[in-house]
């Protein structure tokens, strides 16, 4: 299995140049990783045009690239595709906009069962060259 080639643009920003993607149990509404695979850093699950890396929690969403906080790495390896612009990672919701990625409880109104999210809103505007 090939490891993804990473290029450090900034101390907190990493761009994925080329990736070896392995699909694991892919469904239209649910992508579930095995616990063993979740411990592997180069393991990636492709959800449509999005790439989500489990381990250091590096999330690539189209042209946007965001590295989530280290504390999010402890989340269980559960990815749920809610819509073409929404991805749920455990209790975390990731919303994609043209030039903005928002992770936080402001998206909890999508489904009643997601009301118990207790995370601060994080706004990242990565400047990729």
Taking residue 118's Cβ as centre, other Cβ atoms within 10 Å add up to 8
CA distances to 61, 62, 94, 102, 119 from 99, in Å? 11, 10, 13, 10, 21
Does 105 fall in a domain? yes
Q: Is residue 68 assigned to a domain? A: yes
**Does residue 46 lie within any of the structural domains?**
yes
Rounded distance between C-alpha atoms, residue 67 and residue 126, angstroms: 10
Residue 70's domain spans which residues?
A: 5-124
- C-alpha–C-alpha distance, residues 16 and 108, integer Å: 29
Q: What is the pLDDT of residue 95?
A: 52
Residue 101 lies inside a defined structural domain of this protein: yes
What confidence tens digit (pLDDT) does each residue in 71-129 have?
A: 333 333 334 444 445 555 555 555 544 333 444 433 333 333 222 222 222 333 334 43
SS3 121: coil
pLDDT at position 120? 28
Question: Does the predicted model carry a pTM greater than 0.85?
Answer: no
How many structural domains does the chain have?
Answer: 1
- Residue whose tokens read 């455990």: 90
Buried/exposed 50-72: b ≥16 CB within 10 Å, e otherwise: bbbbbeebbbbbeebbbbbeeeb
The tokens describing 67, both together, are 């590295």
Is 59 contained in some domain? yes
Q: pLDDT tens across 8-65, in order?
A: 333 323 333 333 322 222 222 223 333 333 333 333 334 334 444 433 333 443 333 3
63 assigned to some structural domain? yes
Q: Is residue 79 situated within a structural domain? A: yes
In a domain, 129, yes or no: no
């Amino acid at each position: 299995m090939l490891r993804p080639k990473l290029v450090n643009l900034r101390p907190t920003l990493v761009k994925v140049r080329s990736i070896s993607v392995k699909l694991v149990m892919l469904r239209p509404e649910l992508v579930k990783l095995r616990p063993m695979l979740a411990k592997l850093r180069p393991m990636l699950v492709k959800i449509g045009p999005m790439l989500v890396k489990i381990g250091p929690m590096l999330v690539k969403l189209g042209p946007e690239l965001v590295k989530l906080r280290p504390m999010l790495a402890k989340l269980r390896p559960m990815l749920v595709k809610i819509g073409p612009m929404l991805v749920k990672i455990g209790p975390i919701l990731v919303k994609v906009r043209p030039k903005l990625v928002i992770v936080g409880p402001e998206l909890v109104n999508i489904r009643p069962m997601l009301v118990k999210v207790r995370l601060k809103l994080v706004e990242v505007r990565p400047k990729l060259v």
